[in-house]
Structure 1
Amino acid sequence: MPRSTFAPAAAQRQLVLKLAACGTSASEICALITGPRGRPVTEQTLRQHFAQEMQEGAVRANSNVAQSLYNKATGGDTIAAIFWLKCRAHWKETA
């Protein structure tokens, strides 16, 4: 019996995007995406058909958190400003 060709649905693409944004592992995402026979897709199929969503989800999430931290750091939140400077400007505490 020939294999059925996998064609991702728009809802599956959105789900993968959201799960990747939350840091969900590829194996966990595979368990939630089903193929034509109702079985979970393999990681190879996930990478082949959802590469853009996997990458974009992670980038969007990191970007949103970074923007939020930046807004706090530049808006007067001292702890956020110190954290930003330690991480981004390589500031160190000295004795």
Structure 2
Amino acid sequence: MRKKHNPTKSTRRSVEDMSACGIPQGDIARVLGIDPKTLRLHYRDELDNAATKANAAVAGSLYRRAISDDANPSAAIFWLKTRAQWRETPTQLDHTSSDGSMASQSPVTFNLSALSDEELDALERLTDKATASEGEG
């Protein structure tokens, strides 16, 4: 004959904590050394309410971090996305020209007359390097 199980304040707290963390009832019962049916019989409220209490505690903590004087931007953004239905709208970039092609409409020209010989040499080295690396990608 099995010994009768008598819940204590400590075991109720343990059951609530484990259930809040998502521990399966069979595992909780095994930790307490009782049958899962006994667990459900004596700890129904803890099992039914633990997840809601845990979610409320986490949400409260997140909310306080989002609105504090040294607010956490990640917490504020997460709150707004999940609770205020904020969404990030992607920016649509249009790379086509006015005629619908990807080609540039007019060539770009630069006035290099104001550059010194040293600056022109440096520019030439840069353009040579850029031109040489075009075929590598």
TM-score, normalised with respect to structure 2: 0.55
1:63 aligned counterpart, secondary structure = helix
Distance (whole Å) between structure 2 residues aligned to residue 80 and residue 13 of structure 1: 32
Structure 1 residues 1-95: aligned runs within 5 Å: 5-34=4-33, 41-75=34-68, 76-95=71-90
Q: Any unmatched runs of 5+ in structure 2?
A: 91-137
Paired AA for residue 50 in structure 1: Y
For structure 1, which runs of at least 5 residues remain unmatched after alignment?
35-40
Q: CA deviation at 1:6?
A: 3.5
Give the Å deviation of 1:67: 0.7
Identity %: 40
* Mapped partners of 1:15, 1:24: distance in 2: 11
Q: Which runs of 4+ in 1 moved over 6 A?
A: none
Structure with the bigger RCO (C-alpha within 8 Å, sep 6+) is 1
Q: Cα deviation per residue 1:47-79 (whole Å; 9 max; x = unaligned)? A: 121011123332222111111100111122211
User: What letter is aligned with 1:30?
Assistant: A
The match for 2:133 is: none
The one-letter code sitting in structure 1 at the alignment partner of 2:31 is L
Q: CA deviation digits over 1:17-56, x for unaligned, max 9?
A: 221222222111011112xxxxxx2222211210111233
The size of the alignment, in residue pairs, is 88
Determine which structure has more spread, i.e. the larger CA radius of gyration. 2
- Please give the alpha-carbon distance, in whole angstroms, between the structure 1 residues aligned to 2:13 and 2:72: 34
- RMSD (CA atoms): 1.9
